[in-house]
Amino acid sequence: MTPVGTSEDAATHHDSGIPLVGRTAELGLLDTVIDRLGHGAPSFVDITGAAGIGKSRLMAELCLHARQRGLTVVRGRAAEYERHLPFHPFADAFADLDHRPPHAPDLLDAVSRVLGGRGAGPFPGAVPATADRFGLHRSVARLMARLGRADGLVVALDDVHWADPASLELLDHLVRHPVPGPVVLVVARRDRQTPTALTAALTREADTGAVLRIALAPLAEQECVEGLAPDLPRDKAAHLYAAGEGNPLYFLSLLHAYREDAERRRTSSPASAEIAPGELPTGLGALLLSELAPLTPSQHRTLEVIAVLGDHAVSPVIRRVAGRTDAELDDDLDTLARRDLVRPGPGGRMVVRHPVIRTLVHESTAVRRRVEIHHAAAAELARTGAPAVEQARHIERSVTTWDPQAYDVLRQAAEQTASTAPTSCAHWLQVALRLLPDTAEHAAERRDLMLRRARALGVSGGLRESRDLLHEVISTVGPDETDVRTSAVVLCASTERHLGRYSEAIALLRRELRRQPEPSPSDRVSIGLELSSSAPHNASYPQMRGEVARTLADARVLGNELGEAGALAVAAFGEAYEGDMTAASAYATQAAGILDGLPDGDLTALCEPLGRLGWAEAFLGRFTDAERHADRGLGIARRSGQIYLLPLLLLCKAHVRIQTCRLQSARELADEAEDIARGIGSGELLAFVLANKAQVRVAASAPGDPEALAAAEEAVAAMGPSDNWRASMAWCMLGYAALTGGDPHRARDALLRAGGDDLRGLQPSMRPLLSELLVTAALFTGDVTSASAWSERARREAEQLGLPVQRASAMRSTAQLALHHGDAGRAATLLSEAAAECARSGAVFWEARSLLLAAPAMTAAGFGARGEAMWKQGHRLATGGGAGLLVGLAEMTRPSAPRTPSTAPPRLASLTAREREIAELAAEGLTNQAIATRLYLSPRTVETHLSRVFRKTDVATRTGLAALMARS
């Protein structure tokens, strides 16, 4: 692929032509990153330093070196006054793509409506309301990987301390999920002005080596003076350096003032100037503004227009807003360019030389003049049909009274950003609310905007602000607005749940049910479904069983299939959690019968019940049904923008894929769920996601992998002092990770912390497996009495549940004790039965585990061939499913090679090991089906092997084969 962005404009990208001074060590580090791109180099470079210290100049040099090596380079910049234009720096960078690479049109289409293209701004069209911002993050990463395949890719983003929230969220994703291949993302920022979340992410990954941090210090005096002022007398240059304290921008500003008329232009003594890291140096503003003194009034106004317009500062817009003719504007721009105050930028824009200068010009522009510029810009953008998001920025700064047309633009801007940039959506709705008159005439519309804003805040990390806004709606809603009130109450309760405030959620809903006049039957169904959703997180399901029954009855009386299916799904989940698998199975079957018959369009309000049904089916061992319903829920939630429901559905699918041994996809699902939970800002949800991520990590990683234990520890830390289902999950995973890491004492303590001394604090379907872990831990520490007690408890629990996976777990517990007492035969039988139980239910992970444990027991019992066959089958399942834990177990249980050469007759010597094994079993009189069952093969495979045996041994019947085997 031909490198893009190689034009002079793109190459300079508002950097000066001044040669790079100093920074030899830093540039050497960056050159190393480029040279080793895709071969162990950091995938993220973080350049930090104070304003004017040289971050942009160093980045420009990096881009130049990368282009000289043939890499594709795209470069963008965040802007101080465009913080509500979603993905602004990425849009600026991807505008450098001069053409669509033929190998990535699909990915460019996926991101184009959000990341934009060329022209006056980064938002060429409306984004569909069904877009998924987390899916967009993955699409951008895939696009970067695709662009980097041929020659390597450098994405350079400047001034990210000013990045909009959507860009910060995307950056966080790219930090935590580095783009594979020869791709590097380079950011430059002022450390003190960077949002805390991004700083934390960069610091965390810098500690792991994934991020290379380069903190720019002041230049040394010799470098600064010889590089920037070699013609000045040494004493005067040293004086200027001392005043600037090694900051290149400040030094150049002092130098400019000195050369024009230092004594006249300095407004303060250089020796008294100070530079604070990350802030504008004292006195620098006056020095920079002194550059504007020679400008004529018209040139000054043109510069002000450019500073205010930002991305819209293209000649046609500048001319109309400034009220200049083409000739007058050309003269103004020539003068401004000659004085190096503005430069050509990407997309035909005019760019102020440095962000600091833009800030100074913008802030020194009279307020009334700024408002006039914004007003004229909004009118011009409306005239040219620019997207509402671009008009909204100027409307916000110029319209202060009721203006229906401006109000409509703000609402459109909110709609355009709702799915991919909800923080911006909430901002535009807030601006619209400020314009909307607070009168009875607009009261209903005001509450609708507040509800919309609450939803946007709820999915963008503003849960507490969302809750406060919903309380305001509930307290002001009119008696005839029952639909609005119920929507607000249900949404508020859901928000309280995500904040971990279950008691408040339950109290709010119960109060609503007691309200007079009482809610309508349909409202009672909505409230009842939300109320029952608090189980088992805070209230136990038995406490909510009556509420679920009432909701189900109300829905059936109304003929409300959606409400009925929702109540049945909640009942299935609750009963499965409590261990009544018979009731859970019946409820799940009924719920599935209704849901499967309804079209997707009718199920928008039932994504959460679909997730609960999927979890219930997973607990019941109905893995295919569980994944099918989770997939359907995911599709509906994505299309309807219900982002907050995605983690529940993603984790259900991940859980199924752990059980069925598809660990790579399980990891991807858990990672996506983590991204969304972090974006929503719910600590409670994040802790639950991290617990499930830990389960995936344990299963997918080699025994003792520190990554698995770290994930479990993070889950426990995120949960804090909570004591509910999600907290118990976190502690269980910590115990699981500790045991696989070789720490049985910590494992036992964590598991008992999760469920109490008798594990009664845990859901019954988990108890057999966790009892098995406690048996293992007890035997490791020599506590055979405790191991026997936990084994018996596992057996009783499994019998009560009647589920194959749980029965298999209990069998493995008993087998451990049998092996401890030297009874390899009994252990082999139990483990063989456990493998068969798991195979019947489709629990491939546990089937493989049972086989690998059975193999050495079978060999010790004198059945070496069967033991080897079981090992091979278990190893095949483990490696095929990406189960690093089981692959490690396989290495520990690998059968030893045969020690004696074969003494078989010539006709038997030609048989393979598998054919000889099958021949022996056939000679014993076993049927094809029986041989297949014993060796974990299909009957068709056995039949094929036997045909080869008959051909090689020249016998035609089983009787003849038995005679031949007897003679051998």
pLDDT tens-digit map of 661-677: 999 999 999 999 998 88
The owner of tokens 């909307």 is: 436
Q: Does an H or E element contain 226, and which?
A: helix 221-228
Candidates 529, 119, 99, 74; CA nearest to 315 is 119
pLDDT at residue 279 tops 70? no
How many other β-carbons are positioned within 10 Å of the β-carbon of residue 320? Answer: 17
Coil, strand, or helix at residue 45? Answer: strand
Examine the pLDDT at 629 and tell me if it is beyond 90.
yes
Structure tokens at 6: 């190689």
d(CA 346, CA 161): 21
Q: Is residue 361 predicted with pLDDT exceeding 80?
A: yes
What is the number of other CB atoms lying within 10 angstroms of the CB of residue 150? 16
CB contact at 8 A, 700 and 883: yes
Q: Which two tokens stand for residue 580?
A: 């009544």
In 3D space, the residue among 813, 816, 781, 819 whose CA is nearest the CA of residue 799 turns out to be: 813
Taking the C-alpha atoms of residue 90 and residue 800, their distance in angstroms, rounded to an integer, is 57
This prediction's pTM: 0.75
Other residues' Cβ atoms within 10 Å of the Cβ of residue 116: 25
Query: Measuring CA to CA, which residue among 512, 915, 883 is closest to residue 663?
Result: 883
Query: Which of 472, 463, 432 has the alpha carbon at shortest distance from 449?
Result: 432
pLDDT of residue 900: 45
Please compute the mean of the pLDDT values over residues 154-168 and round it to a whole number: 93
Q: If residue 758 lies in a helix (H) or strand (E), which one and from where to where? A: none
Report how far residue 114's alpha carbon sits from residue 125's, in angstroms, rounded to the nearest whole number: 8
- The pLDDT value recorded for residue 479 is 80
Residue 273 has pLDDT above 70, yes or no: no
The fraction of the chain above a pLDDT of 70, given in percent, is 89
Per residue in 738-776, pLDDT (tens digit) is 999 889 999 999 999 988 888 888 888 889 999 999 999
DSSP run (H or E) holding 428 = helix 422-435
Tokens of 395: 């409307």
Q: Is the pLDDT of residue 531 over 50?
A: yes
| CA pair distance 885, 867, nearest whole angstrom | 20
Residue with the bigger pLDDT between 809 and 937: it is: 809
Quickly list DSSP for 849-869: HHHHHHHHHHHHTT-HHHHHH
Instruction: Tell me 954's DSSP state.
Output: T
* Residue type at 528 in one-letter notation: G
DSSP, collapsed to helix, strand or coil, labels residue 901 as coil
Residue pair 488/707 in contact by the 8 Å Cβ criterion:
no
Note the pLDDT of residue 968: 60
CA-to-CA distance for 398 and 415, rounded, in angstroms?
21
Instruction: Please say if the pLDDT value at position 264 is more than 60.
Output: no
Residues 405-431: tens digit of each pLDDT: 999 999 999 998 888 889 999 999 999
Amino acid at 747: A
Structure confidence at residue 734 (pLDDT): 93
DSSP string, 240-309: HHHHHTT-HHHHHHHHHHHHHHHHHH-SS-GGG----TTSPPTTHHHHHHGGGTTS-HHHHHHHHHHHHH
pLDDT in tens, 3-61: 333 333 333 444 545 677 788 889 999 999 998 888 878 889 999 998 888 898 899 99
Summarize pLDDT for 675-696 with one digit per residue, the tens: 888 888 888 788 889 989 999 9
Q: In sequence order, what DSSP letters do the residues of 927-940 get, joined into one string?
A: -HHHHHHHHT--HH
Q: Compute the distance between CA of residue 191 and CA of residue 215 in angstroms, rounded to an integer.
A: 9
**What count of other Cβ atoms lies within 10 Å of the Cβ of residue 149?**
18
What's the token pair of residue 340?
Answer: 């190096």
CA–CA separation, 697 vs 719, rounded Å?
18
Residue 117 carries which side chain, given as an amino acid letter? Answer: G
- Mean confidence (pLDDT) of the chain: 85
Average pLDDT for 437-455: 93
Tokens of residue 334, six digits: 């020539």
Q: How confident is the model at residue 115 (pLDDT cuts 50, 70, 90)?
A: low
Least reliable range by pLDDT among 238-242, 749-753, 781-785: 238-242
**Alpha helix locations (H) across 741-781?**
744-755, 767-780
